[in-house]
Amino acid sequence: MNVGELRDSHGRVMRDLRISITDRCNFRCLYCLPETEEAANFYRSRFDAVRNPKPFSLEPIRYEWKPRDRLLTYEEIERLVRVAASLGVDKIRITGGEPLLRRAVPELIARVAAIPGIRDVAMTTNGFLFARHAEALRKAGLKRVSFSMDSLDPSNFKKMTGRDGQAEVQQAIAQAQALGFAPVKVNAVVIRGMNDHEIEPLVDFARDRDLVLRFIEFMPLDSGHAWQRDLVVSGRELLERLRKRFDLVPIDARANPAETARRYAFADGRGEIGIIAPVTEPFCGHCNRLRVTADGRLRTCLFSLHEHDLMSLLRGGAPDAEIAARLVELVRGKEAGHRIGRADFVQPARTMSCIGG
C-alpha cells in the first residue's frame, strides 16, 4: 500500500500522531475540567477583579463518559497506527484523559512499538497511577514520558488539580528516571494569579533532578469556558523572568523545525527548559501533528471545530488502502492555524481531556 504521504495543502508533512485512549480523568484541573469549588472561586474572583459586566457562574459539568464499546479497541488503534506508519508517521504519543485509567496499557504500548516505521512511543500522564505500571511500560517499549505537574506546593497542587497527589507525581518522576526513561519531561501550565509565583522554584526543581521542564501557556480548552486572556502568562514574559535569574542559551531548532517549544539550555549544562506559547506565539506554520480521540475521531488541529470519523471505517470493513486514502484526504484540508486572539475564534466544544493532549 502506497497512496502517498500525509502532506497538507500548506506543505507540512505529518509525522506525529497523538492518540487518546480514554476520555476519563482522575484529576479536575483548572485549565481542563474546572469542576471544584476552588476552581469556581478562583475564576469568580478573577471575573470580579476585571469587573466583567457579565455575571460569572461555573456550574459543575457532569460528563457522560464514553462507554467501552464507543472507544477504539487496542486492535483498532494498532491497525490505525500501521496505516499511519505506512504514510510516514513515525512518532506516537499515547494520551487521555488520563491514559493509565485504561486497563492493560503496556499491552497497547508493546503492539505499537513493534510496528515497522515507528521509532518513538511516548506518553503524557498526570503520574498519579504511574508507579504501578512503570516497569511494565518500560519493558513494553515506551521510550519517553511527560508528566503534568503545575505546582510544587501540595495545597496549590490540589487547587489546580482537584485532588491531593503532589507526592505521587514526584514519586512517579523519580521512578521514571530510575527506570531509564529519557528524557523525562515535566509540563507546567502557568496561570496568572494561581501558580505564576512558582515559575522559578519549578526550574530549580527540574535542574536539581536533570529534568526537561516545559512551561505552557494557558489555552482556551476548559469545560467551563472560563478562560480569560489576562490569565495567560505569555512566553515572552516567562522568558524575561527566567533570564533575570538564569543564564540561558538558546538551543538551535533547525534540527527539528516542528518542535513546539522554544528550548533553552543552562550555561552551566544542568538541565533544559522549554516554553510552549500557542496563544501568543503560534507555531502552526511548522505543525506536523494529528490527533485521534478515544472515540475514533481525527482532529487535524488541537482547536479544530470539526472532527472526522475513523471508527466507522475501522469497524465497517474498510480495507487499509481506503483508510490510508481517507487520511491523506483529511490531512490535505488541515487548517493553516488556530484563530486564538481573533474576533472569530470559537472555542472547541470538547475539552483537552476529551481531545487528548
pTM value is 0.89
**Three-state secondary-structure class, residue 185:** strand
Measure the CA–CA gap between 247 and 268, rounded to whole angstroms. Answer: 8
Domain that holds residue 26: 16-355
Backbone angles phi, psi at 15, to 5 degrees: -120, -15
In a domain, 8, yes or no: no
| Least confident span in 111-120, 169-178, 184-193, 218-227 | 218-227
> Widest CA span of the chain, in angstroms?
59
* 342 pLDDT higher than 90: no
For residue 218, give the CATH number of its domain.
3.20.20.70
Please, how many CA atoms are within 13 Å of residue 108, restricted to the half-sphere of its CB? 28
166 assigned to some structural domain? yes
Q: How many domains does the chain have?
A: 1
- 11, part of any domain: no
* Average pLDDT over every residue of 231-256: 92
Residue 36 lies in a domain: yes
Of 41-50, 115-124, 197-206, 247-256, the one with minimum mean pLDDT is 41-50
Residue 272, all three cell numbers:
533544559
Is 7 among the domain residues?
no
pLDDT of res. 156: 96
Q: Decide if pLDDT at 56 tops 70.
A: no
Residue 90: exposed, middle, or buried by beta-carbon count in 10 A (0-12, 13-18, 19+)?
Answer: middle
Q: Are 242 and 203 in contact (CB under 8 A)?
A: yes
Say how far apart CA 78 and CA 119 lie, in whole Å.
15
Residue 1 covered by a domain: no
Which among 194, 350, 339, 204 has a CA at the least distance from the CA of 279?
Answer: 339
In a domain, 2, yes or no: no
| Cβ-proximal residues to 203 (8 Å cutoff; 6+ apart), any chain | 213, 242, 245, 246, 271, 273
Task: Please state the rounded mean pLDDT for residues 280-292.
Answer: 83
Residue 65 within a domain: yes
